[in-house]
Amino acid sequence: MKATIDGVRIAGLRAVVPRQRHSFVEDPGLFTREEAKKLAATIGVQERRILPRPYCASDLCVAAAEGLLAQLDWDPSTVEVLVFVSQDADYVLPSTACIIQKRLGLPTSTAAFDVPLGCSGYVYGLWIAARLLGGSSATRALVLCGDNSSRYLHPEDRATLPLFGDAGSATALEVDAGAPPIPLVIGTDGSGAPHIFVKAGGKRDCLIPPAVSCGEPPRSAEDEARLERDARLTLNGAEVFSFTLRAVPPLLREAMEHAGTTVEGIDWFVLHQANRFMLEHLRKRVQIPAGKFVIDMERYGNTSSASIPLALCSSLGDSLAGGRRKVLMAGFGVGWSWGAMVADIGPVPTPQVAELPDDWPVLAVG
């Protein structure tokens, strides 16, 4: 599907990461030192940021939002759209966005809701929030993207443990009649669902104790062990790679065609930071010059929904503060789900990456 966002601009960005670091290069753990060095060179990750309990992705996003509101000098009462994009809700209910609305002090006229998407979530979130602005009396929106993927990882899974890190982000959108249009392309193929998968935890395969009073039998020790195993992330690397090379080059070309531009007309390509090996294959397949192509996961790992805004803040802060840049952003993965947009960004207050303070209050209810 193709769409176009009109009359809305990206006004600012900010990312927040945990202070806690882990490097498989320095502390190989499951690997020999030689294996760890080769792995880091291939996937492009030297260290990851790990969010300690009891914090959640929402805490990182709230910290990013508070910093961004201060940087933009926006009164929270002027923000009436809040979209929280994450696969890591604080609770089964209520919606985490409702809790964040209160924490940020946004008005009760705010439309606030969760979007449980991962790798494609940033593009989806911007599109949804911008369309809400275009069809309502609201003039400002916040899109918060973040994930706490490290808690899904099995401590002995050599395929996922070195790759995924935690991060949160905030992006501010504002109605602006003079803003250039933002063309985008969106798609979904649910046949990919089993290939990046956390099976247990929802109602289909539940982790909560059985309701014996309602006729559900008690679970055996074997069932408990299975649920614990199925609550971890499983990733079929070969299928992910095959899907990416099959779907993403056409996605990038279609997004540029929809935007009426070419590789030469794009200042920066910022894709979901899946891993270096995959990104380099995509870059060469689409013939994108290395100087225009952002790979920025060495210090953070794959941060799922936060990876695009984190890369924008980490690699392009000065560039986006210095003037208008045409940026192609593309997310792809879990679902399968994908989206790409071509947006003119800047000049904006310098996007920054901050660390979550040690004394940050937990975003909790009750």
Taking the C-alpha atoms of residue 265 and residue 252, their distance in angstroms, rounded to an integer, is: 13
Whether 360 is in a domain gets the answer: no
Which residues, in sequence order, are CB contacts of 135 under 8 Å at separation 6+?
none
Which residues contact residue 177 at a Cβ distance below 8 angstroms, ignoring those fewer than 6 apart? Answer: 7
C-alpha angle 327/331/337, rounded to 5°? 145
> 115 forms bridges with which residues in the sheet?
85
Confidence (pLDDT) at 2? 98
Q: Which residue has the tokens 């006729």?
A: 215
CB 255 within 8 A of CB 341: yes
Query: What is this structure's pTM?
Result: 0.95
Same domain assignment for residues 141 and 250: yes
Residue 365 domain-assigned (yes or no): no
- Lay out the sheet containing 111-115: strands in order across: 111-115, 81-85, 140-148, 166-175, 8-17, 352-355
35-39, 248-252, 338-342: least confidently modelled range? 35-39
Is residue 362 a part of any domain in this protein? no
Residue 302 per-residue DSSP state: B
Lowest average pLDDT, out of 54-68, 86-100, 201-215, goes to 201-215
pLDDT number for residue 343: 98
Chain mean pLDDT for the chain: 94
Q: pLDDT grade, residue 211 (50/70/90)?
A: low
The pLDDT value recorded for residue 27 is: 87
pLDDT computed for residue 281 by the predictor: 96
Give the residue from 209, 227, 245 where a domain finishes: 227
For residue 145, pLDDT beyond 70: yes
CA 28/CA 35 separation, integer angstroms? 8
Long-range CB pairs of 277-286, under 8 A, 24+ apart, other chains included: 277/42, 277/43, 277/44, 278/240, 278/241, 278/244, 279/44, 281/244, 281/245, 282/244, 282/245, 282/248, 282/249, 282/252, 285/245, 285/249, 286/249, 286/252, 286/253
Task: Say yes or no: 219 and 85 in one domain.
Answer: no
Region 91-113 average pLDDT: 97
What's the pLDDT score for residue 214?
63
Residues 220 and 291 in one domain: no
Q: How many domains does the chain have?
A: 2
On whether the CB atoms of residues 133 and 173 are closer than 8 A, the answer is: yes
Q: Which position has the token pair 């924008």? A: 312
Domain region containing 344? 2-189+235-355
**What pLDDT, on the 0 to 100 scale, is given for residue 218?**
79
The answer to whether residues 217 and 150 belong to one domain is: no
Q: Is 364 within the bounds of a domain? A: no
Pair 89, 213 in one domain: no
Same domain flag for 320 and 280: yes
Which CATH number is 307's domain given? Answer: 3.40.47.10
pLDDT at 213: 60
- Of 227, 244, 275, the position where a domain reaches its end is 227
**What do you get for the CA distance between the two ends of the chain, in Å?**
42
What does the pLDDT read at residue 186?
97
Q: Are residues 346 and 329 in the same domain?
A: yes
**Residue 324 pLDDT exceeds 70:** yes
pLDDT (0 to 100) of residue 199: 86
pLDDT at 83: 98
Q: Has residue 222 been placed in a domain?
A: yes
Q: Are residues 204 and 107 in the same domain?
A: no
> Is 363 within the bounds of a domain?
no
Average pLDDT (243-272) is: 98
**344 neighbors 6 (Cβ within 8 angstroms):** no
Whether residues 249 and 215 share a domain: the answer is: no
Residues 251 and 336 in one domain: yes
Give the bridge partners for 12, in sequence order. 172
Q: How far does CA 291 lie from the centroid of its chain?
A: 23
Domain presence at residue 264: yes
Q: Are residue 39 and residue 79 in the same domain, yes or no? A: yes
In a shared domain, residues 168 and 258: yes
- Residue 366 in any domain: the answer is no
Angle, vertex CA 261, rays to CA 259 and CA 263, nearest 5? 125
